[in-house]
Amino acid sequence: MNPEIFVSLKAKEAIEALYGVQVDDKLVQTQATRKEFEGDITLVTFPLLKTSKKSPEETAKQIGEYICQNYKEIECYNVVKGFLNLKFSNAYWQGVIKEIYNANDYGQLPATGKTIMIEFSSPNTNKPLHLGHIRNNLLGWSVSRLLEANGHNVMRVNLVNDRGIHICKSMLAWLKMGNGETPESSGIKGDHLVGKYYVAFSNELKKQTKELIAQGVPEDEAERQTPILKEAQAMLVKWEQGDPEVVELWKKMNGWVYEGFDKTYNRLGISFHRTYYESQTYLLGKALVQEGLKNGIFETHEDGSVWCDLTPDGLDKKLLLRGDGTSVYMTQDLGTAHQRFDEYKLDEHIYVVGNEQNYHFQVLKLILKKLGFDWSDTIYHLSYGMVELPEGKMKSREGTVVDADDLVENMYMTAKETSMALGRLDDMGEQEREQLFEMIGLGALKYFIIKVDPKKTMLFDPKESIDFNGNTGPFIQYTHARIKSILRKAQERGFEEAVGTADMLPKEIEIVKMLNNFPSKVKEAGDAHSPAVIANYAYELAKEFSQYYHDVTILNEENATLRSNRLALIKVIAKVLVKAMDILGISLPERM
């Protein structure tokens, strides 16, 4: 049982026995004892004075004496100005570690019955995944695992943006410049090949824009007047009209991209329960727009475009359909949200999208509310900061992004070089080494990104992320491998592990407190939608073990009871590290 809950329950029993009244839960206030005082949990007596009709000190003393006399779990107490500090007995902490030791799925909270959908990744089919997508994917995956650990039913979904002007840009560039190039003929991964033509379109657009400016066309008009952009816009209209040639080209190039995406997802350990495609959902949004027009919620402008006037709500006017009848992102988001809530009766819908889209989701919720959908209040935008590099921001159109596949491969190579330099893998087979390098590389990448609070913009430094010391994934992986090595050696020597009756050292009790706090950390992280809480908890636990291992004898301890206690304790540390890192999508090696 959580120590604060234990003290709250026993304090209520003490108050009833001492003063003959039942006390409201709100008046029984507990907190962790401050480090400068002796004790584990502190009871604040000031809210209880009307009940006790005594001074704060006398009230604290009476409750403290009653608890110490009646509950063996409490060893002693002290009073500091009406604050009752209670210290738990050695037997209590042994009971805690025994409970964790025997638990099958420690840290998994009880089922809530709630169904939560989380949408993440949401790539465009005109380019490969890049570093920004990696943060999105790793954040979405870890939050989904975190919500599962909180007892919710979770659906991971991906919405692929497979239509729109940006898709047509890649298609048109391939038609004009591709000479029939395919992933097979070029040896280029499908999503990379399509991305190559997105950059090619951008380069040609810049060239034509400069030519028009040189001919006297105003700068703010030049790009819109370029022949290549007009062709792309015409292609989008043809696609929406179902032109067979355009649709066939679209299917072919998107197929290349999906195959490429799948390879990247598989390597990152990412999977989805369902994938939606904008090409299949945007019409749902168009239907909602027409319904909104009919009910006077939206308005049509002279050019035929449809808008929602949000100025009375302190926002601006939002475009929902262009004059040529083509839809925008907001259109399909309206339709997709309606479809999902209709199908799954969701308790919450989380969108993992960068903070540059904060306004978009504010508008989405408001428009859905105006359409009469009260469930719009359960939409949550998990807004995260951008990932930047030491050189600055990335730009897809200019081809200056850090490619996800290249980054993962570089992390693997860095892990390999670092591990080989340490010289600890001589007895490993080639296949085991390769698996270890992959595990370390991905662990470094995932942890470095997840340990940062989602709302913060982060600077990604690959070299710093793979350090085997400090707040990194490899440090935690190495800690786990070291514990497993100790346990293997203990087994070889015939040593047993068991939670016994030997007195615990203060350092051991501190570790047990930290282990006991894991479920509350899972809840805290889940409530905040922040896996960074779990990442940093895992680091602190690993750091505590490292200090403990440095200060305390384990394998060479002559007292068999102490030794078996300590082996059980470090086994529990490894167990909790595995659970915590699994929430983050990070595997821990048995040795390294």
User: What are the pLDDT digits (tens) for 182-193?
Assistant: 999 999 999 999
Tokens 């919720």 belong to residue? 365
Residues 38 and 168 in one domain: no
Of 60, 56, 68, 66, the closest CA to residue 16 belongs to 66
- Looking at residue 501, its pLDDT comes to 74
Q: Same domain, yes or no, for 377 and 408?
A: no
Tens of pLDDT, residues 372-390: 999 999 999 999 998 877 6
DSSP character at residue 460: -
From 5-9, 165-169, 387-391, the region with the lowest mean pLDDT: 387-391
Tens digits of residue pLDDT in 123-166 = 999 999 988 899 999 999 999 999 999 999 999 999 999 988 99
Position 106 in a domain: no
Q: β-pairing, 379-384 with 348-354?
A: parallel
Does some domain include residue 77?
yes
Tokens at residue 145, please? 């695992």
Question: Same domain, yes or no, for 384 and 238?
Answer: yes
Q: Are strands 387-388 and 458-459 parallel, antiparallel or unpaired?
A: parallel
Q: Residue 332: what pLDDT?
A: 87
Distance CA 160, CA 122 (A): 5
In a domain, 315, yes or no: no
Q: Per-residue confidence at 419, pLDDT binned at 50, 70, 90?
A: confident
Task: Count other Cβ atoms within 10 Å, centred on residue 312.
Answer: 6
Give the separation between CA 92 and CA 503, rounded to whole angstroms. 11
Q: Please compute the mean of the pLDDT values over residues 16-35 and round it to a whole number.
A: 93
Q: How far apart are CA 397 and CA 161, in angstroms?
A: 16
pLDDT band at 391 (very low <50, low <70, confident <90, very high): low
| Number of neighbours of residue 48 by Cβ within 10 angstroms | 24
The helix (run of H) or strand (run of E) holding residue 589 is none
Rounded to 5 degrees, what angle do the CA atoms 387, 394, 171 make? Answer: 125
Radius of gyration of the chain from its Cα atoms, rounded to whole angstroms: 30
Give the Cβ contact number of residue 422 at 10 Å.
10
- Do 212 and 338 fall within a single domain? yes
- Residue 82 has a CB neighbour count (10 Å cut-off) of 17
Instruction: List 306's β-bridge partners, or say none.
Output: 300, 321
Handedness of CA 245, 251, 257, 260 (dihedral sign): negative
DSSP one-letter string for 31-47 = EEPPTTSS-SEEEE-GG
User: Percent of the chain at pLDDT above 90?
Assistant: 84
Residue 75's CB is within 10 A of a number of other CB atoms, namely 15
DSSP code of residue 323: T
Long-range CB contacts (< 8 A, 24+ apart) of 30-33? Answer: 30/4, 31/4, 32/4, 33/85, 33/86
- List the structure tokens of 363: 């508008």
535-558: pLDDT as tens digits:
999 999 999 999 999 999 999 999
Euclidean distance between CA atoms 445 and 211, whole angstroms:
44
State the pairing for strand pair 153-160/115-119: parallel
Task: Give the domain CATH number at 130.
Answer: 3.40.50.620
For the record, the structure tokens of 115 come out as 């169904």
Q: Which of residues 502 and 273 earns the better pLDDT score? A: 273
pLDDT score of 368 more than 70: yes
Answer yes or no: do 488 and 547 share one domain.
yes
How far apart are alpha carbons 43 and 29 in whole angstroms?
A: 6
Q: What is the CATH number of the domain that holds 553?
A: 1.10.730.10
Instruction: Please compute the mean of the pLDDT values over residues 172-187 and round it to a whole number.
Output: 96
For residue 277, the one-letter residue type is: Y
Can you give the pLDDT at residue 462? 73
Place of tokens 């992986």: 477
Mean pLDDT of all residues belonging to the chain: 93
| Statement to judge: residues 146 and 239 lie in one domain | yes
Find, among 90, 80, 70, the residue nearest to 12 by Cα. Answer: 70
Task: Let me know if residue 112 belongs to a domain.
Answer: no
Least confident range from 111-115, 168-172, 322-326: namely 322-326
Per-residue pLDDT, 414: 87
Does residue 398 surpass a pLDDT of 50? no
Count how many domains the chain has.
Answer: 3
Six token digits for residue 192: 């990379």
Q: Based on the domain organization, do 133 and 230 belong to the same domain?
A: yes
Look at residue 104 and tell me if it is in a domain.
Answer: no
Q: Are residues 81 and 126 both part of a single domain?
A: no
Could you tell me what percent of the chain has a pLDDT over 70? 98
Distance from C-alpha of 576 to C-alpha of 570, rounded to nearest angstrom: 10
Q: Which domain holds residue 359?
A: 120-279+325-388
Is residue 32 a contact partner of residue 57, using CB atoms and an 8 Å limit?
A: no
Are 50 and 167 in the same domain? Answer: no
Residue in this structure with the two tokens 């030519």, named with its chain if needed: 211
Task: Report the alpha-carbon distance of residue 3 to residue 457 in Å, rounded.
Answer: 37
Looking at the structure, tell me whether residues 384 and 458 fall in a common domain: no
C-alpha span between 292 and 242 (Å, rounded): 25
Q: Is residue 348 part of a domain?
A: yes
pLDDT over 70 at 454, yes or no:
yes
Identify whether 589 is part of a domain.
Answer: no
Residue 101, in any domain of the structure: no
pLDDT band at 396 (very low <50, low <70, confident <90, very high): very low
For residue 61, is pLDDT > 80?
yes
Residue type, 90: N
pLDDT grade for 394, boundaries at 50, 70 and 90: very low
Q: Is residue 156 classed as helix, strand or coil in its secondary structure? A: strand
Calpha distance 64→173 (Å, rounded): 79
Question: Residues 456, 505: one domain?
Answer: yes
> What average pLDDT does this structure show over 99-127?
95
Is residue 132 domain-shared with residue 189, that is, in the same domain? yes
Q: What is the CATH number of the domain that holds 77?
A: 3.30.1360.70
Tell me, letter by letter, the H, E, C secondary structure of 164-179: CHHHHHHHHHHHHHCC
Rounded Cα distance between 126 and 193, Å, is 9
- pLDDT: is 50 or 421 the higher one? 50
